């Protein structure tokens, strides 16, 4: 038991205070869910490197620190111009701004909506119309999915709620913008997003995690995506947190018949980040695409675990993940594809490619197939390497400096993923962010370099 206590860190302590503060405003079912979540966490603790799913990622740095929950936020004096630079200049988008995990109506931009559509803060919806949320909340991601989900559920309060009724397509993307102010000391936030796309509906949701100034924080978001038949959801997640931040997040989706889901996850920041992306194909003919890019420099650690679960026949899945690792960083990729006994005619393809720019960088990759049906086509591939000497030579022989040549090749490597991104503003933004990051990569490799 002592070991479990060690492995729950200081997280249990903040819970009672949180429950009292939120209690007066929450329905009993939600309170009960929070309590079972904290009980589950108290009994099992956080995973250690002995757990197969956490074999290469040591979360002790998170457990050793004390993070205070942000119970109320007055916006911390953040003004509109502070957040404008994170909105990609997309004024037509529905932008929900969360300051240290709390929704800020003043900073958000909401446009008129079609009848029945809800785009708003989860906390406000819980208070005003819990019945709209109840049928969906914690159904795709039950509180006992894993320790970090339990933690998120225990502190569940705010986040984005998007509800699209039957046969409605929302044209402008919905942007859930999570801003860390960095001004509140070591704190933690547990955003919970719920996206419901009913039959024949369509929506694009962008989640971004950014910071105004650097500081220590722990972000533990959970996103649930529920899709009805023929629904179409595009989901983007951009993680660009402070170099001292810890980020452990999950995205879970469950798809109905013939629905189409696209997820693109780009992880650029944080000292330690972990993304669990679980996609369940629970209707005949559903399609999903999981693409992503992760970069790390210095001593950062980035970990992506994806699972695609083919439950029903005739589904297809595509996955491409790329990693760029520099300095002494450590990357982990684990891509699991499960094809259940009934899921005949499944078609799954997965690729993971990693680029090591520095001799000290490390990568652990494990593409994994678990197939229980026979009439399937499943492939996966993984590669690890450095920039090709021939390509570098080609550029050098044409008078391009080594550093520039490296940057061009590295950017080209990343662009396969960036090009998957449909909304122009995000693509343009990422292009410039990556450009700046890549410019400084691999310097240690060049003799006489900085």
Partner 1 sequence: MSTETDRIEQIATQEYKYGFVTEVDTDVAPPGLNEDVIRMLSAKKNEPEFMLEWRLKAYRHWLTMVEPTWANVHYPAIDYQAIRYYAAPRMKPKGPDSLDEVDKEILRTYEKLGISLEEQKRLTGVAVDAVFDSVSVATTFKDKLAGLGIIFCSFSEAVQQHPELIKKYLGSVVPYSDNFFATLNSAVFSDGSFCYIPKGVRCPMELSTYFRINTADVGQFERTLIVAEEGSYVSYLEGCTAPIRDTNQLHAAVVELVALDDATIKYSTVQNWYPGDKEGRGGIYNFVTKRGKCVGARSKISWTQVETGSAITWKYPGCILQGDDSIGEFYSVAVVNNLQQADTGTKMIHIGKNTRSTIVSKGISAGRGQNSYRGLVKILKKASGARNYSQCDSLLIGDKCGAHTFPYLEVSNSSSQVEHEASTSKISDDQLFYCRQRGIKSEDAVNMIVNGYCKEVFKQLPMEFAVEAQKLLGVSLEGSVG
* Interaction site with partner 1 (CB under 8 A): 52, 341, 344, 354, 356-386, 445
DSSP 169: B
Residue 195 DSSP one-character state: E
Q: How far is CA 66 from the centre of its chain?
A: 23
Smallest separation (angstroms) from partner 1 to the CB of 363: 5
Do 15 and 8 form a contact (C-beta atoms < 8 A)? no
- Least distance to partner 1, CB of residue 381, Å: 5
Helix/strand/coil percent split, the chain, to 5: 25, 35, 40
- DSSP code of residue 391: H
Cα separation of 202 and 346, whole Å?
24
Beta carbon nearer to partner 1, 309 or 358:
358
* CB 230 to partner 1: min, Å: 28
Nearest approach, Cβ of residue 272 and partner 1 (Å): 19
Q: 3-class DSSP state for residue 224?
A: strand
By beta-carbon proximity to partner 1, the closer residue of 371 and 433 is 371
Measured distance CA(21)–CA(440) in Å, rounded: 46
Q: Which is nearer to partner 1, 194 or 325 (CB)?
A: 325
- Least distance between partner 1 and beta carbon 168 (Å): 39
Closest separation between CB of residue 216 and partner 1, Å? 28
Helices vs. strands in the chain: H and E counts, helices first? 10, 22
In angstroms, give the least distance from the CB of 324 to partner 1. 11
- In sequence order, the β-bridge partners of residue 266 are 238, 293
Six-digit token string for 47: 């995973």
Residue (374 or 397) nearer to partner 1, CB: 374
CB-nearer residue toward partner 1: 175 or 330: 330
Of 171 and 375, which CB lies nearer to partner 1 in the complex structure? 375
Tokens of 142: 């039950």
CA atoms within 13 A on the CB side of 18: 24
Which residue lies nearer to partner 1 by CB, 129 or 368? 368
Question: Containing H/E element for 431?
Answer: helix 424-439
Residue 96 vs residues 84, 107, 109: alpha-carbon distances, Å? 12, 8, 6
Q: Which residues contact 389 (CB under 8 A, 6 or more apart)?
A: none
CA-CA distances (angstroms) from residue 198 to 10, 314, 358?
Answer: 39, 21, 47
Nearer to partner 1 (CB atom), residue 226 or residue 376: 376
- Quick one: CA dihedral 432, 433, 435, 436, positive or negative? positive
Choose between 201 and 334: whose C-beta lies nearer to partner 1.
334
C-beta of 78 vs 325, nearer to partner 1: 325
Tell the smallest beta-carbon distance from residue 264 to partner 1 (Å). 23
Residue 210 Cβ vs partner 1, minimum distance, rounded to whole Å: 30
Q: How far apart are CA 190 and CA 297, in angstroms?
A: 26
Shortest distance (Å) from residue 163 CB to partner 1: 38
Among candidate residues 68, 65, 53, the one with its CA nearest the CA of residue 13: 68
């Amino acid at each position: 038991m002592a070991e479990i206590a060690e492995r729950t860190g200081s997280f249990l302590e903040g819970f009672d205070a949180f429950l009292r503060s939120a209690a007066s405003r929450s329905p009993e079912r939600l309170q009960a869910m929070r309590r079972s979540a904290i009980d589950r966490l108290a009994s099992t603790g956080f995973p250690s490197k002995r757990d197969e799913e956490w074999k290469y990622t040591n979360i002790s740095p998170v457990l050793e620190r004390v993070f205070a929950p942000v119970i109320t936020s007055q916006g911390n004096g953040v003004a509109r111009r502070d957040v404008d630079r994170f909105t990609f200049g997309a004024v037509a988008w529905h932008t929900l701004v969360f300051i240290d995990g709390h929704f800020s109506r003043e900073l958000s931009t909401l446009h008129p909506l079609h009848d029945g559509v809800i785009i708003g803060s989860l906390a406000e919806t819980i208070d005003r119309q819990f019945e709209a949320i109840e049928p969906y909340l914690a159904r795709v991601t039950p509180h006992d999915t894993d320790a970090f989900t339990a933690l998120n559920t225990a502190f569940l309060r705010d986040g984005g709620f998007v509800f699209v009724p039957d046969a409605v397509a929302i044209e402008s993307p919905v942007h859930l913008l999570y801003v860390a102010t960095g001004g509140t000391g070591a704190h933690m936030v547990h955003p919970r997003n719920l996206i419901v796309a009913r039959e024949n509906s369509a929506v694009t949701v962008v989640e971004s995690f950014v910071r105004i100034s650097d500081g220590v924080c722990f972000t533990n978001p959970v996103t649930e995506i529920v899709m009805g038949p023929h629904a179409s959801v595009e989901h983007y997640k951009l993680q660009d947190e402070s170099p001292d931040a810890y980020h452990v997040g999950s995205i879970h989706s469950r798809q109905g018949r013939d629905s189409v889901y696209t997820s693109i996850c780009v992880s650029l920041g944080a000292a330690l980040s972990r993304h669990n992306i679980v996609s369940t194909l629970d209707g005949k003919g559903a399609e999903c695409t999981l693409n992503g890019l992760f970069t790390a420099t210095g001593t950062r650690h980035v970990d992506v675990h994806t699972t695609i679960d083919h439950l029903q026949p005739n589904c297809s899945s595509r996955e491409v993940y790329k990693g760029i690792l520099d300095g002494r960083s450590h990357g982990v990729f684990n891509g699991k594809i499960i094809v259940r006994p009934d899921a005949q005619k499944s078609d799954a393809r997965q690729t993971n490619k990693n680029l090591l720019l520095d001799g000290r960088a490390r990568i652990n990759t494990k593409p994994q197939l678990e197939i229980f049906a026979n009439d399937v086509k499943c492939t996966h591939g993984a590669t690890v390497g450095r920039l090709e000497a021939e390509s570098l030579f080609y550029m050098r022989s044409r008078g391009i400096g080594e550093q520039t040549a490296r940057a061009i090749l590295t950017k080209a490597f990343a662009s396969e993923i960036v090009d998957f991104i449909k909304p122009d503003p995000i693509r343009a933004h990422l292009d410039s962010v990556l450009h700046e990051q890549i410019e400084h990569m691999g310097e240690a490799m060049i003799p006489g370099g900085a």
